[in-house]
Structure 1
């Protein structure tokens, strides 16, 4: 790709891709101070991912759990660190929000990535988020 994606152009391209291929994804542009693409993955139980593209990167993420729902944060953090190396193309992080800390699963790509690679990242991140949720379920109440 000669020009990097921005959030709006990526949203339009994903909508066209879904229309052309029948891909089982739902895409919505959420407008705010910074636009965000919400991608719903029906094949993964309706899991919602959020994407933005600016500058040199595309950022894709989903909420793993609220930190206040974790029974033992030290043990959970240790388990997350051990899970990260076997979770290809995805990472687990902690994000501060006005409503409290959230554990997230996220991935990043170049803003010049081809659309097919971006769609693959969506599927891989959704799969990895479900795998992480399953692996870490015993720490969440």
Structure 2
């Protein structure tokens, strides 16, 4: 599957099947994997090894997008201070970025990363694991702002 990923772009369904079939994923027995159907399908991963962290993954066009919620904006006591702390932390988060997105009418802080949709499966797994690690680290570093 590795060589196929390099010559063809991943689709979300193909990526789901590959992750579901691989033994490469560390602590595979602690992974819950769900394909969420819809207009834009995505993969939901629940990582028990990272405190049941929920990570979402989707392949679209030229990129694979990996993301998770850091916190909801209404949980932040000092948004200006939190934003400043996020910007200062961002350069120290390898392969991950911190941003704000809107879900419904609510602002949500997310940690996300992207990589080529032609990336080998091992690189995508690495992105998921690094993002999970960075999310736990960011939550620890930023906990004084969150209630």
Q: Determine the structure 2 residue equivalent to 1:5.
A: 10
The DSSP-based 3-state class of the residue aligned with 2:114 is: strand
CA distance in 2 between partners of 1:29 and 1:49 (Å)? 12
Could you tell me which residue of structure 2 aligns to residue 61 of structure 1? 67
In the other structure, the counterpart of 1:47 is 53
**Contact 1:44/1:126, CA 8 A, preserved across alignment:** yes
Counterpart CA distance in 1 for 2:43 and 2:35 is 5
Aligned partners of 1:16, 1:38: CA distance in 2, in Å? 15
CA–CA distance in structure 2, aligned partners of residues 3 and 70 of structure 1: 42
The one of 72, 78, 87 equivalent to 1:72 is: 78
Of the candidates 32, 40, 54, which is equivalent to residue 38 of structure 2?
A: 32
Q: 1:97, CA displacement in angstroms?
A: 1.4
State which drifts further: 13-22 or 1-10.
13-22
Q: Indicate conservation of the 8 Å contact 2:25/2:125, yes or no.
A: no
Matches of 2:49 and 2:27 in 1, distance apart?
A: 13
Deviation at 1:32, TM superposition (A): 1.6
Please list, as runs of the form range in 1=range in 2, the aligned pairs for 1:83-102 lying within 5 A after superposition. 83-102=89-108
Runs of at least 4 residues off by over 3 Å = 18-22
- Cα shift at 1:25: 2.2
1:119 match:
125
- The 1:19–1:110 alpha-carbon spacing in structure 2 relative to 1, beyond 3 Å, is closer
CA-atom RMSD in angstroms: 1.5
Q: Secondary structure at the match of 2:118?
A: coil
- Number of residue pairs the alignment of both structures matches: 141
Deviation at 1:33, TM superposition (A): 1.7
Unaligned 5+ residue runs, structure 1? none
Q: Please report the TM-score for the alignment, with normalisation by the length of structure 1.
A: 0.95
Normalising by the residue count of structure 2, what TM-score does the alignment of the two structures yield? 0.91
Q: Which residue among 110, 115, 134 is the counterpart of 1:104?
A: 110
